[in-house]
Structure 1
């Protein structure tokens, strides 16, 4: 794969991409580097391969505010499937336990979601980028190893249940950075006593950034470079958006 030729005049800022399924966040960064002609690109907040939606790419000098942008609240739309727990807490893992799903009422499901609001702690999943003695947990998980993970403080500002067709439940959640939605789905399943896994996920907001100005991965691959430059949200506009 050829490396991008450095291009003078690449604007600094944030390019919002609507990530397609079955690709990693790093795949999107690699495409952007070739399409924009610069190596100085990072992303704000990893999306798992099965997930879609908002992925913020920081370009050129915007890489200096990457941590600042990543620290903001996120909003997701997702689906959890009751009755099956998996090794990864999502549909990409292997089933580890299957249970019959009782005929839960919407009120019972809402009560389980309600247990995970405000401030609480999550135990990060083994399949995550968190490091143990310098090694990412997902690499240990691939070797069949499981290590003790310390609970991490997170919070949920708001949630909404939009569809209940057992065993599936559609929901929306506004949460803190470092929040694992698949762990959220898993824990709700444990609360209900039948287990669950995350079967669909879409990020729709990060801080003040939404999908309204997002470009698709296909556009990122094929659009003229000048058009892509116009899609980059400038540092000046970002400062105004954030009220800085």
Structure 2
């Protein structure tokens, strides 16, 4: 059995693949680096891809700080179909025609969710109600009241409207659910919607460009993975606090 190495520390920028959890990526990194003290900054759903920041060793003290930063996502939504999870992972709960929906109406609906507003978290989420994660209640078929939470859309772009599909980019605050954003826009349009693709491209000052693909993390020699670590000093400089 290998002895755990507790001497390394830093931040690893990973490009998460689809169909794996954020915890899966952490487990792969633990094996790759042969160290136990690793956390991640902001969960990505299994369906989602893109930037996942891993904090290693002493850098775990930066976890809360890095999680609080705003994010940028690229996404696709499908109009006319609602699911219980608000994304393609869930079961269909309603279908409605999109015949009366126009590209102009779609763009207008996006304007309703700009700036600061409140968002009701989805049932399929890790938020806890009386100490129990909502997703566990959802698995039992329970739906409970959720408190609206303040969020902010700093910027957005509707990149493609080819009904019933819509591609968009959203720059948002922490705690923002992009699938709920898609769901709520579908409600405004009167036809419903759910998220079919999601990619995190930026978190704070850090971009997915140049991030380590998770397949490389799985197979690369340990020394190559260690080379990819950003030091605490580098992180501070990139955030403009040095």
Tell me, yes or no, whether TM beats 0.5.
Answer: yes
Structure 1 residue 124: Cα displacement: 0.3
- Correspondence for 1:224 among 221, 226, 229: 221
In the alignment, is the contact (CA less than 8 A) between 1:4 and 1:39 conserved in 2?
no
Where do 1:125-140 residues align within 5 Å? 125-140=122-137
Cα distance in 2 between the residues matched to 1:63 and 1:86: 36
In the alignment, which residue of structure 2 is the partner of 1:6? Answer: 4
Residues 216, 5 of structure 1: CA spacing in aligned structure 2 closer, same or farther, 3 A cutoff?
A: farther
Q: Does 1:235 align with 2:232?
A: yes
In the alignment, is the contact (CA less than 8 A) between 2:6 and 2:37 conserved in 1?
no
- Correspondence for 2:197 among 177, 196, 200: 200
5+ long unaligned stretches in structure 1: none
Residues 200-239 of structure 1: per-residue CA shift (max 9 Å, x gap) = 0000000001012311111101111111111011110111
**When the two structures are superposed, what TM-score results if normalisation uses the length of structure 1?**
0.96
**When the two structures are superposed, what TM-score results if normalisation uses the length of structure 2?**
0.97
Structure 1 residue 107: Cα displacement: 2.0
Q: Does 1:58 align with 2:55?
A: yes
Secondary structure of the corresponding residue to residue 166 of structure 2:
strand
Cα distance in 1 between the residues matched to 2:137 and 2:100: 38
Structure 1 residue 13: Cα displacement: 1.2
Residues 149, 8 of structure 1: CA spacing in aligned structure 2 closer, same or farther, 3 A cutoff?
A: closer
Structure 1 residue 177: Cα displacement: 0.3
Please provide the CA RMSD for this pair. Answer: 1.1
- Correspondence for 1:122 among 119, 122, 132: 119
Cα distance in 1 between the residues matched to 2:134 and 2:2: 31
Residues 4, 173 of structure 1: CA spacing in aligned structure 2 closer, same or farther, 3 A cutoff?
A: farther
Paired residues, number: 241
Secondary structure of the corresponding residue to residue 160 of structure 1:
strand
Cα distance in 1 between the residues matched to 2:74 and 2:80: 20
Secondary structure of the corresponding residue to residue 200 of structure 1:
strand
Where do 1:1-244 residues align within 5 Å? 5-7=3-5, 9-10=7-8, 12-244=9-241
> Stretches of 4+ moved more than 3 A in 1?
none
